Amino acid sequence: MDKKKPETTIDRRKFMIQSALASMGIFGGAAFMQTVRAAEGKNRPLKAAFSNAGLQATWCAQGKDTVEQWGKWLGVEIHWYDGQLDVAKQRAAVDAMAQKDWDFVAIQSLSIGSLVEPVQKMIDKGIPVIAMDTMLAPWGTLKLHTFIAPDNVWMAEQVTQALVDAIGGKGNIIMTQGSLGHTGAQGRAQGFWNVVKRYPDIKVLDTSPADWDVAKVAQLWENLLNRYKKIDAAFFHNDDMALAAYQVIKNAGRENEIVIGGIDAMSPAVQAVLDGKLHATARNSAPRIHWGALVAGYYAVMQKEVGGKDIPEFILADGPVILPPSKEKTDKPWLLKGYGIGAGPGLLWEEKHYLA
């Protein structure tokens, strides 16, 4: 009697890849699996170089974890060049990257225009370069393979609107920004202003940047709490900064006075919304953007996809807004937004498995 053949690594790999492809919804599963089979016959793994803004940021760290896991599944050797939340240090890292040969490269720039020369050098060598999350340079400056990013303006509008609604359309609000040269931060600031300019009874007290640095946020917010006795809401350009400020606000005994929102919907922030510590966040998916870049690079090498022809110049990595679950009770949950549950619990599971 024949024994059942045990499950193989590639069977598990195919399952995980196909599951995540369904989640992302931008690449064809059958064609992609052909590239997996082709890669398995190669004499060497593909080599890819990645750089993002800085692994001190949990969003960037989640992106690195995602790429390394997907690299194992797909047989891609990942080399990481950390930006360290410092424009000069990221430039030095990408200069070093450009001295080597790669099958493809993916980069999130900390500041627009800061990496043009080394990126152009890699493009000139025929290396597909994928921009992640932020623009490397203005449109047309570089011939990139593609650019995968969220809609920063939309995310900021949604979170800011939730904060404004929570304070009844009037009061004092603060925006704590990321790095001012970061195009994502610029888009988030634009989304914030798009909303608050419609409310004449809202006063913006401060818009200082904290450069994604939680230590800077803590110091900034200690000063803000001393300076302003009435703060009704606070919008932060990412969750790390929002949670760092929440702790300072709580230490001052003012957590019930200030409604807080952030962006990225990292797992701790999602849980904070569910627990009532934050009011809102919006998902900027580090997994979708990072493994999307990995998949795009994989197709460029294995199926010779050409940027601007076989893949569009821009791919939107959209995500939901995370708000507290509905308190409304009904026997017809399909008539409520998010079935009355919202995106939070499901997103926690998806993040755990590097899907969204």
In a domain, 301, yes or no: yes
Instruction: Per-residue pLDDT tens, the chain, 356 aa: give them.
Output: 444 444 444 455 555 555 555 554 434 444 454 555 455 555 578 999 999 999 999 999 999 999 999 999 888 999 999 999 999 999 999 999 999 999 999 999 999 999 999 999 999 999 999 999 999 999 999 999 999 999 999 999 999 999 999 999 999 999 999 999 999 999 999 999 999 999 999 999 999 999 999 999 999 999 999 999 999 999 999 999 999 999 999 999 999 999 999 999 999 999 999 999 999 999 999 999 999 999 999 999 999 999 989 999 999 999 999 998 877 888 888 888 888 888 999 999 999 998 98
The reply to whether 255 and 296 lie within a common domain is no
Q: Print the SS3 string covering the chain.
A: CCCCCCCCHHHHHHHHHHHHHHHHCCCCHHHHHHHHHHHHCCCCCEEEEEECCCCCCHHHHHHHHHHHHHHHHHCEEEEECCCCCCHHHHHHHHHHHHCCCCCEEEECCCCCCCCHHHHHHHHHCCCCEEEECCCCCCCCCCCCCEEEECCHHHHHHHHHHHHHHHCCCCEEEEEEECCCCCHHHHHHHHHHHHHHCCCCCEEEEECCECCCCHHHHHHHHHHHHHHCCCCCEEEECCHHHHHHHHHHHHHCCCCCCCEEECCECCHHHHHHHHHCCCCEEEECCHHHHHHHHHHHHHHHHHCCCCECCCECCEEECCCCEECCCCCCCCCCHHHCHHHHCCCHHHHHHHHHCCCC
- Rounded Cα distance, 270 and 266, in Å: 6
Which pLDDT does position 334 carry in this prediction?
87
For residue 108, CA distances in Å to 2, 207, 279, 341 come to 52, 24, 28, 33
The reply to whether 173 and 146 lie within a common domain is no
* CATH number of the CATH domain containing 142: 3.40.50.2300
In a domain, 3, yes or no: no
In a domain, 328, yes or no: no
The reply to whether 81 and 189 lie within a common domain is no
The reply to whether 29 and 106 lie within a common domain is yes
In a domain, 21, yes or no: yes
- Rounded Cα distance, 308 and 25, in Å: 19
The reply to whether 208 and 235 lie within a common domain is yes
The reply to whether 74 and 121 lie within a common domain is yes
The reply to whether 196 and 291 lie within a common domain is no
Start-to-end CA distance of the chain, whole Å, equals 44
In a domain, 138, yes or no: yes
Which pLDDT does position 41 carry in this prediction?
53
In a domain, 325, yes or no: no
Q: Which of 284, 309, 325 is the last residue of a domain?
A: 284
Q: Structure pTM?
A: 0.86
Instruction: Please tell me the total count of domains within the chain.
Output: 2
Whole-angstrom Cα Rg for the chain: 22
The reply to whether 66 and 138 lie within a common domain is yes
Q: Are 63 and 286 in contact (CB under 8 A)?
A: yes
The reply to whether 265 and 293 lie within a common domain is no
The reply to whether 169 and 299 lie within a common domain is no
The residue range of the domain holding 71 is 9-150+286-317
Which pLDDT does position 110 carry in this prediction?
93
In a domain, 76, yes or no: yes
In a domain, 353, yes or no: no
